[in-house]
Amino acid sequence: MEIRTRTEGDVTLMRLSGHLDGTTVEDLKTEVSAIQTGGGSRICLSCQRVEFIDSTALGQLLAMHKKLKTGGGELVISEPSRFLQSAIRTLELYHILEIFDSDKDAIAHFA
């Protein structure tokens, strides 16, 4: 998995690509923790290029979302790949996570 990070105002946009599984999600957790340690609490995961995600990674996304929300922040998903859209729909995660069609819409959500 590859993670590219940039900041737009007070929102951290993280573009993910590749496979997100029990092993690679640890890299994402480390980066999210570093953002939180640095004072960031608004994170958008741009997932257009996520080719695969397993149940462990989905569970960790929910845990990161909960941790950020507890601290007054939020984690949202933008541009989910078809594979991720299918998983979100099947597991009804749209009741828990905010999902946006574009990075622009996700960033505007935080305004």
DSSP 91: H
4-49 per-position pLDDT tens digit: 999 999 999 999 999 999 999 999 999 999 999 999 999 999 999 9
**Can you give the pTM of this predicted structure?**
0.95
101 φψ region: left (φ > 0), alpha (ψ -120 to 50), beta (else): alpha
So what's the pLDDT on residue 59? 95
How does pLDDT run across 49-58, given as a tens digit for each residue?
999 999 999 9
- DSSP assignments along 16-37, one per residue: EEEEE-TTTHHHHHHHHHHHHH
pLDDT tier for residue 83 given thresholds of 50, 70 and 90: very high
Torsional sign, CA 7, 93, 79, 19: positive
